Amino acid sequence: MYYFYFTYLISYIFFSLFGLINDIFFPEFKLKKMSLADIKFHYMYVSDIVFKNVLVNSIPIFVLCEILYSNYNDNTTIIQYLSQYMITILLGVNIEYLVYRLKTSTYFSEYHTLKREYCQSFGFMAHYEHNYDYYLTMLSVVFPALLRFHPDVFKSWIIIILYKKIILDVVNIKEFNIDSYLINTGLDYLNPYIKIEDKVISEDKVISEDKVISEDKVISEDKVISEDKVISEDKQQSKPIHYSNVINDNNVKTGVLDNHSNGHYSNSL
């Protein structure tokens, strides 16, 4: 026996323990910090499903792997070993992506809601998922056994893929998964920088809109002032000229006429 199951179990415990140490002693590195009470609550909340997947549902899978290697003859050359290792890395990246796309498709999306809708992210919950979702995930873990690659290649891949799934994907460290896990799952509440940028953009938009409104207001006021000025100037130009009569009312009553008027009223400006 090659004890693939123990390699898987020890790797999961080790990387999850690393995530737990980060949660307790280095919360400043997390995208979303948790208090000790929150850590206890979340770990207890997901423990039943995680233990069921890791300790129970994975046993038939690795028993099948042991059966596939029951009559394996180790006569692999160095070239074959390196080739299998490279093929495992290349195929593993692509198979994991295809499995993820399959899990988020319409056929399996109803089973892919546990991890996606959970309110927190930490290493121990890497296999907090539905049974069907878990079996699809394990397809990207055990595919080297289906190809009967070298047992050491298979064990190395188990360690690598669990490191990727636990540490890089869900351990919730700023430097590791600020983009990948949040964008794929839509949990943008874990990324405060996105909201800050959106807030800054919205504030800049409001400021620019206020600036445009104020400029429009100034332009309209200037237009009103200029129009009022033009109207007043036109009014002054069109104002009728009033003439003052030189002859007063007494002269009119007495019939005395001005010598310069020749019998007419003499008007002057």
pLDDT higher than 70, residue 220: no
Q: What is the pTM of this model?
A: 0.66
- DSSP designation for 21: H
pLDDT, tens digit (0-9, with 9 covering 90-100), for 120-146: 889 999 999 999 999 999 999 999 999
58-62, 99-103, 109-113: least confidently modelled range: 109-113
Reading the block at residue 85, the tokens are 């290792």
Q: How many CB atoms lie within 10 A of CB 16?
A: 24
Cβ atoms of 180 and 168 within 8 Å: the answer is yes
What's the gap between Cα 49 and its chain centre?
Answer: 28
Q: Which contacts of 72-80 are long-range, i.e. CB under 8 A and separated by 24 or more positions?
A: 72/148, 72/151, 74/150, 74/151, 76/150, 80/150
Strand partners, 245: 267
Q: Which of 43-57, 60-74, 75-89, 168-182 has the weakest average pLDDT? A: 168-182
Mean pLDDT of the chain: 76
Q: What is the pLDDT of residue 40?
A: 94
CA distance 129 to 58: 13
Query: Is residue 119 predicted with pLDDT exceeding 80?
Result: no
User: What is the reported pLDDT for 222?
Assistant: 56
Q: Return the structure tokens found at 149.
A: 């690659």
- Check whether 251 has a pLDDT greater than 50: no
For residues 26 and 121, what is the distance between their CA atoms, to the nearest angstrom?
A: 15
pLDDT at residue 223, rounded to an integer: 55
